[in-house]
Amino acid sequence: MADIFAMAFHSGRRLLRYPWCRDIALWAKPRAGYVRTDSRIRGNDGRTLFFPLIVLALCWSLPAAAQAASKADWASVIQQAEPAIVSIEVDAPRAFDTEWNFSGEATGFVVDAKRGIILTNRHVVQPGPVVASAVFQDHEEVELTPLYRDPVHDFGFFHYDPSKLKYIHPHALELAPAEARIGREIRIIGNDAGEQLSILAGTLARIDRNAPYYGSSGYNDFNTFYFQADSGTSGGSSGSPVIDSDGRVIAMNAGGETNTSSSYFLPLDRIVPALERIQAGERVPRGTLETVFLHENYNDLELLGLDPATARAVRREAPSASGLLVVNDVIPGGPAAGKLRPGDILVRAGGKLIVNFNTLSSLLDGSVGRTLKLDVERGGKPLSVRVRVSDLHAITPTSYLEFGGAVLNNLSYEMARNLNKPIRGVFVADPGFVFSTAGIARGAVITRLDGTPVATLDEFQKRLETLAHGAQVSVRYYDPENPNEPQSAQITLDGHWFPAERCHSDSRSGQWPCTVLPPPRPAKALKPVTVSYPDYRDTRKRALARSLVYIQFDMPYRIEGVQQTHYVGTGLVIDAQKGLVIVDRNTVPVSMGMLRLTFAGSVTIPAVVSYIDPLHNLAVLHYDPALLGKTPVAAAHFGNGNLHAGDPVWVVGFNDNQTLISQATAVANVEPLQLPLSVTLRFRDRNLDTIRVVNAPGMIEGVLADKAGHVIALWSSFAYQSGRDVQQTTLGVPLWVVRATIARVEKSEHPTVRSLETEFWPLPLADARDRGLPADWASRFETDDRPRQVLSITRVTAGGPADGKLRNGDLLLAIDGQPVHDFEQLAALSQRDTAALTVLRDRKVIHVKLATARLGSGALNRVVIWGGTILQRPPAALAAQRHQPRSGVWVAYFNYGSPASRYGLTPGDRIVAVNGKPTPNLDAFLAAANGIAKGEPIRLRTIDPNGRPSLVAMRLDPEYWPTYELRRIDGHWVRRALH
């Protein structure tokens, strides 16, 4: 028994972490010390050990009961806290400052139930426009408006109307910043990973770590301590309360480490005084030295040269402090520039000892506009400087300018700190169409516009309003990847693709009301320019230079399943008098865009899309020949296009540097084109033989030429999808296809072509025999001048003339009695209004008569922007590749942060009804959706590309996502607002 008692006592030391056991053991120790004698245990004072035995028995038995009690206590704490914790659905409708536009979920909690105040993170409240709602525990949802977002620290407040809650009556959670201690057991209750009211456990491990660093391209908190615990929070838990065992909030979840389970919590030190100011109806003062500090411990301070005498004095005055603040960054041009340096150790400010961030922040917040004396040590030497305290709100952007699809705001303190630049210039929060076409990316800072310095957004707007639509304007900027080397670019001012407006934050309403900018001045008339061509020594270059043009095409909207928006390539002049150019559909994939043609590498003029071939990878462009003056542009000469393996050819075209290239090669083979189906339902060519060459040159498009420089095929780029990635390959397009397209364009202003709307694949004659091809038909295909093959049907277009009459696997033998050997014959014989087809099906020869489809241009002529989506007629690829009807309204794309992204209106779906009303086309859709006010529910019946129906219920937000349309009229696009 004594030995068991001794072992129990030793092993029972682990139980001392329980307060009840530790207290009993400390009380019992002086009364029951023990020694080992003769294998017995007895007290030092010789008394019986009966009482200590009872003590340790209790130590063993109490923890299990206490643990159960502890769980019950936590359950009670969580139950009390839950009604105050909300799931926040947040949409950022515009990119702004450090944040992209997005839709997401987060957490918040009530800190003032009477006034309706919810605390959450700054990156949830957003530095810019935000649309948000709170979902309480009983799933009641209320609208939120931003009340305050801190300029630096990761906290902000939303406001809700308490009277809107019908059933739940939350109480405010108590904020207790002083209760945060290392080792304190905590619970994080929030919307972790999108799950409402997830509960995660942890223990505070650190309460004095520097703010986590999330990278140089976005938001980072600074000048504050953060807490750390191993709780493994993830997306959606931002803004969750960190609660102790008494139900008090001691911190707020803010972030975490992606590769570990570490979570980072924001202390409440600056939150509590901000809340008190807001509750009192006062402005929250925020001061700054435009300097970033880090907290360093005494060991590191010694390395920085802290005087030992200073260290001793600080330790005496603040015995609980672990170190001091050290200057890490000083914003160039700020109040501390030239006075403080990185590595300076801050000892006192305004006569106060500064051992933590909270003391410094409190001092700065109460000293805005005043000058403070700072006592620092630099390399072991004391130094005093006087620095004026800036207003942090004054250097935080509260306005944005939107034009050309771009969003601009004043450079913020946050981003200036990331770039180590003065807080001057115009920040590109979203490059949109106007800047992305010039290669200017998000995060760039514009310093000059059209040669004029622009230090602020007001100056930028003032200069912008003097410029004309379509003007080529120089932009001087620096890039976030290399901020010390200024860049320059030319942008083309856009005045009709997108709305243009200036928006300002209204602190009272929480909204960002906008003012529409005046329309740009009309574009200046272009003057004719005459240029000359180089005198090339190469025969092919010399023959073709006057017929080849370099093409740049930029799409303002993602339509027709095309997701990339910037294209370059080579076009071929087919009529110099009319100004017609033919090009592949991977250079000009759609009819909507900004199109520019460069001649002789010397002059660039605008052009429009005239015709898009609905069947093949070809488009025809139109330019004004008068703009080229007497430039000797010439239409191409075509040669013999019947190519075979081994024939010598020359690839002639422009590379990405607009350099004309000519490379000798040979035909490798001529084979049918087979591209995978498109995930996004973009155009996919079919029923075409293409030409491959030996050692094809990379990144060159243009033509295949013979020795004399005559065009014998186009050398075109084909886009296709491999999984979800878009790939491209360059192949030769036979002249019969090119000539047919040219003939249609020259014949009519509104070209048409007829089609069976069926996809075929060549089948060797031997395989056709195995499928039951009769001998007499086989003999008709045994000719020397045609390939010995039969065309097999692989896909029938939904709603086309062959739908329901032809089947996959049928073998097409003849049209109107003439055998069909190849795609060229197929195209020629399909141009009649009706066609009598002879087909082999199930080993039987049958006859099918059908009308051919009359197809006009494949150009899209109308787009509607609604609810953050881009709507259009369903593309031809839907019927051709998925066998789905082209009825309804097709969702081509959506904008992040819009109602469409919030409620899951998926690109590729067709909207076939609105609130029960059928919507077979855009006009029917607009009529059904008209009159639905902001916040009212709207129910959309949709069908995905595979025919699966679903219902999407959503609410609109016309303030940020108004409805307008773009129409193509006489080759030009016009934007019109719809109400």
What are the residue numbers of the active site?
123, 154, 237
79-82: long-range contacts, CB 8 A cutoff, minimum separation 24 = 80/247, 81/109, 81/173, 81/189, 81/241, 81/243, 81/247, 82/137, 82/189, 82/197
Instruction: Provide φ and ψ at 82, rounded to 5°.
Output: -55, -45
Spatial separation of the C-alpha atoms in residues 164 and 699, rounded to whole Å: 61
How far apart are the C-alpha atoms of 732 and 197, rounded to whole Å? 60
E strand map for 93-138: 102-112, 117-120, 131-135
What span, in angstroms and rounded, lies between the C-alpha atoms of 894 and 218? 24
Angle at Cα 703 formed by Cα 699 and Cα 707, nearest 5°? 120
**CA of 6: how far to CAs of 15, 36, 42, 271, in Å?**
15, 9, 10, 52
β-partners of residue 650 are 664, 705
Q: Sort 223 into a burial class: Cβ within 10 Å, 0-12 / 13-18 / 19+.
A: buried
Rounded to 5, what percent of the chain is helix, strand, coil?
20, 40, 40
| 109 and 84 Cβ atoms separated by less than 8 Å | yes
**Cα–Cα distance measured from residue 49 to residue 72, given in angstroms and rounded to the nearest whole number:** 35
Q: State the residue for tokens 């059928």.
A: 918
For residue 650, which amino acid is it? W
With beta carbons less than 8 A apart as the criterion, state whether 802 and 809 touch: no
The 10 Å Cβ neighbour count of residue 691 is 24
Two structure tokens written together for 402: 């939107």
* Beta pairing class for 501-504 and 482-492: unpaired
**For residue 164, which phi and psi values (nearest 5 degrees)?**
-80, -15
Q: Are 264 and 228 in contact (CB under 8 A)?
A: yes
Contact 496, 973 (CB under 8 A): yes
298 contact partners, CB below 8 Å, separation of at least 6: 306, 311, 315, 322, 323
Burial of 237 (0-12, 13-18, 19+ CB in 10 A): buried
DSSP run (H or E) holding 375? strand 371-378
Phi first, then psi: what are they for 594, rounded to 5°?
Answer: -100, 120
Pairing of strands 725-734, 711-722: antiparallel
- Name which of 575, 738, 545 is nearest 652 in CA terms: 545
Cα–Cα distances (Å) from 330 to 291, 342, 375, 412, 910, in that order, read 5, 7, 16, 15, 54
Q: Cα–Cα distance between 414 and 379 in angstroms, integer?
A: 28
Q: Which residue has the tokens 């490379």?
A: 663
Nearest CA to 401 out of 411, 413, 410 is that of: 410
Is residue 172 classed exposed, middle or buried when 0-12, 13-18 and 19+ CB atoms within 10 A define those classes? middle
